[in-house]
Amino acid sequence: MKIRTLLVEDEHPVMGRMRNLLSNFPEIEIIGEAEDGITAVGLISTLKPELVFLDIRLPELSGFQVLEKVTHLPKIIFVTAYDEYAIKAFEENAVDYLLKPTSIDRVKKAIDKVKLMTDKLEPQFVSMLKNMIDRGKYPEHFSVKVKDEILLIPADSVFWFHSSDKYVFLQTYDHEYFLDFTLKKLEEIVDPDKFIRIHKSIIVSTTQINKIKKSFTGKYSVVMNDIKKTSLETGRIYLPGLKQKFNF
């Protein structure tokens, strides 16, 4: 018997890869796809799928907000970029997780779990998942390699991230470290209450800003609390976000 399945994912390459992976499972029938939370709510309500592969970070509504808004609750496999610490907490429950990028073996394991399930996801379980993930979704430290050692830099010790020549660096009070991330990825995983992007190549810690300066040309810069009191120029398209954050 076919499992009527909906895919919810806003990244086209990931959606395509998931579609290709699921083509290896004849029991899976893809009945629809959504690229944002609002569309997902509509399709779940109208198509009433038995299974949804659901991304957590989506435009318009998050994956958890989608589940809060629908009355039809299908079986859910979350698709996430979160670390194993968040995933393992729920491995014994009725919900599974797939880490991006996933593999055919991992998809098979998830589908096998779905086949063994007899009940739909209960609303209170959705709420529990949301609360647990929300408490641990932001990284508490970043790993940087220095010669033969791996240093763990607490997130609270980060003053800013910046990119230069296709490389990304993490700045503390008095040291700069190479970081194996992209700025786009960092912007997705850091706490938006503590970090803000001020330039296409800079994300700063809001708690480490000393002051904000306006030049005679009308441009703004943020002066950080690092050892050099570094001044970082704000990009024009990021200025409205900075003004909203600090109410100026």
pLDDT at 91: 44
**pLDDT per position as a tens digit, 104-126:** 888 998 898 888 775 555 555 56
What SS3 state is found at 70? coil
Identical fold, 3-136 and 141-246: no
Domain-wise residue ranges, the chain: 3-136, 141-246
What backbone torsions phi and psi does residue 222 show, to the nearest 5 degrees? -110, 135
Radius of gyration for the alpha carbons in the chain, expressed in angstroms and rounded: 21
pLDDT at 43: 96
Q: In what helix (H) or strand (E) does residue 188 lie, and over which residues does it extend?
A: helix 183-189
pLDDT at 94: 43
pLDDT at 88: 44
Residues of the chain with pLDDT under 70: 81-95, 118-137
For the chain, helix, strand, coil in percent to 5 are: 35, 30, 35
At the fourth CATH level, the homologous superfamily of domain 141-246 is: LytTr DNA-binding domain (2.40.50.1020)
pLDDT at 125: 54
pLDDT at 233: 95
**pLDDT per position as a tens digit, 64-98:** 888 888 888 888 888 876 554 455 435 444 467 77
What CATH class does 3-136 carry? alpha beta
What SS3 state is found at 191? coil
8 A C-beta contact, residue 182 and residue 175:
no
